């Protein structure tokens, strides 16, 4: 049985958060592509998610959270991280940071470092806020090596099976037993803030991944919506 929830219904998000706490795998909107995730501290759920995506176990998963304060006891927030967080979060930039406490490491989701971001999507951050651990795996809702999607109608062509729930944007409804969008374009659940805007060399709206584990040596692991030039320029302008 697959549960269906709507972003604009608080009771729906609360029920969905409870399912996540109990180990459910959920498909949800973000400010980039649709994501699929679970509680990253629940190893059984994470292992199930790897199987759903047919993802190699040696490829750790990106994590979403809803508030910067959740990072204080989780990762080392360097000066470079503070600058990028201030300028681009919530938004389409993922930061790889070092865990403060190895006991927090997940067996499958992440190890001594974690790739984390706050998405610019009110629906998803509200959902995360209602979960017990205030964390959610935020990998794209597609089979490994297959393209992600930004329209929920494409879910039926994704060949994903085994998930427990879907969270729909406010601009989606049911027609003839299927979920369809009202109007065109891609909803981003609250809109993209000016500071989250950037340039992209890719037709797929993925986040840019920046490795900040080494002090004073930021590395672009994947260039997405926010360009590497914008990231390095921001760091240069704000580092003392």
- In sequence order, the β-bridge partners of residue 219 are 211
CB 25 within 8 A of CB 45: yes
What tens digit of pLDDT does each residue of 12-25 get? 999 999 999 999 99
CB 115 within 8 A of CB 94: yes
240: CB partners within 8 A, 6+ apart: 79
Q: What is the mean pLDDT of the chain?
A: 88
Sign of CA dihedral 67, 3, 45, 213: negative
Rounded CA-CA distance 75/210 in Å is: 15
Closest CA to 137 of 94, 89, 80, 99: 94
Is pLDDT at 176 greater than 80 in this prediction? no
CB 115 within 8 A of CB 107: no
Rounded CA-CA distance 38/14 in Å is: 15
- Which comes out higher in pLDDT, residue 105 or 67? 67
What tens digit of pLDDT does each residue of 180-205 get? 433 333 333 333 333 333 333 347 78
CB 31 within 8 A of CB 191: no
pLDDT at 102: 74
Q: pTM to 2 decimals?
A: 0.86
165: CB partners within 8 A, 6+ apart: 2, 3, 4, 5, 16, 19, 24, 25, 26, 27
208-211 and 219-222 as β-strands: parallel, antiparallel, unpaired? antiparallel
**Tally of CB atoms within 10 A around 16:** 26
pLDDT at 105: 80
Q: Which domains does the chain have, with CATH numbers?
A: 3-238 (3.90.870.10)
């Amino acid at each position: 049985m697959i549960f269906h929830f709507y972003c604009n219904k608080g009771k729906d998000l609360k029920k969905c958060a409870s399912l996540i706490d109990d180990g459910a795998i959920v498909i949800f909107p973000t400010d980039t592509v649709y994501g699929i995730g679970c509680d990253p501290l629940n190893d059984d759920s994470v292992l199930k998610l790897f199987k759903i995506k047919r993802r190699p176990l040696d490829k750790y998963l990106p994590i979403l959270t809803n508030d910067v304060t959740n990072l204080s006891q989780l990762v080392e927030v360097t000066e470079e991280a503070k600058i990028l967080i201030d300028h681009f979060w919530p938004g389409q930039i993922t930061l790889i940071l070092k865990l403060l406490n190895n006991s927090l490491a997940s067996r499958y989701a992440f190890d001594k470092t974690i790739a984390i971001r706050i998405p610019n999507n009110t629906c998803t951050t509200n959902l995360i806020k209602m979960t017990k651990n205030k964390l959610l795996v935020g990998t794209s809702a597609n089979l490994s090596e297959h393209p992600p999607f930004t329209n929920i109608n494409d879910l039926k062509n994704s060949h994903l099976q085994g998930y427990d729930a879907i969270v729909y944007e406010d601009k989606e409804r049911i027609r003839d037993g299927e979920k369809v969008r009202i109007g065109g374009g891609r909803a981003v659940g609250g809109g993209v803030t000016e500071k989250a805007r950037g340039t992209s060399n890719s037709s797929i709206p993925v986040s840019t991944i920046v490795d900040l584990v080494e002090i004073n040596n930021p590395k672009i692991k994947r260039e997405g919506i926010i360009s590497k030039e914008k990231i390095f320029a921001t760091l240069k302008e704000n580092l003392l």
